[in-house]
Structure 1
């Protein structure tokens, strides 16, 4: 008759494996946090880019002026774009085309001639040119630059470095 032997890990082997696992998790955790923050910033940038382009498209398609403004509560316009924004027709502001709300760990800034972005029926934005940006410490993480023709572009690394003073104040 054969005797069955049990195969298992000893307590010492389990403790060593647990210690190695704990060390690897403590090394990887900050990297995951930085990755999450970077993905959150990129998602906000892409969402904002799509919303600005959508507002311009609505102005062209509806042949009327469309306004995009920051909104803390989704019902009124404000200077603060951090909590979200709303898109509305300029002649009838009660007719809201879109409300976007988001929760971000870092602020979203708009720097332009006006606190609102206005697109005319031909897609131009002559008085609303400016830039959106988000800070990462004392540096600019990204910038979206809106020109007078109503086109939005991502700023280069050199432009971000040149405008870094905006995050130090």
Structure 2
């Protein structure tokens, strides 16, 4: 009497590994672009929310509120990719800080600072552009008008 042996032959194992490697070779680049799209959407929404927060706080406090590139808890920098700091201009009281974004991504903002007056107006309008991995063809933006209106801007702009 002969017993059946369970297991794989070397040929079956090699075919399975070959098929799996072909599927991974095709699928991995698609997953990277999906991950970048999710990251850019999440971070541009975060920027939109922090700008809305700053405008609302300016109206609530009845004071000028500034948005600047984060350098430290009490100072502003020039690199928006390191984070965003919201503070009341009088007294330099920090209201909120967003930590830095992904190191591979590029973010351009309106100069070094954006201001909201006590009426919610922004004397200096500007645009924030978020480019995942520095690619302009996948970028998203948020614009702030002089009336203080915060909107999602046009896509696929170059980060400067």
With the length of structure 1 as denominator, give the TM-score of the two structures. 0.82
Q: In the alignment, does 2:128 pair up with 1:132?
A: yes
Q: In the alignment, does 2:97 pair up with 1:71?
A: no
CA distance in 2, matches of 1:15, 1:116: 59
User: Which residue is equivalent to 1:123?
Assistant: 120
CA distance in 2, matches of 1:140, 1:19: 33
Q: Secondary structure at the match of 1:97?
A: strand
The number of equivalent residue pairs is: 157
Gaps of 5+ in 1: none
Question: 1:72 touches 1:81 (CA, 8 Å); kept in 2?
Answer: no
Of residues 144, 147, 150, the one that matches 1:146 is 144
20-29 vs 102-111, greater mean Cα deviation? 102-111
CA RMSD of superposed structures (Å) = 2.1
With the length of structure 2 as denominator, give the TM-score of the two structures. 0.86
Gaps of 5+ in 2: none
CA distance in 1, matches of 2:54, 2:88: 10
Structure scoring higher RCO (CA < 8 A, sep ≥ 6) equals: 2
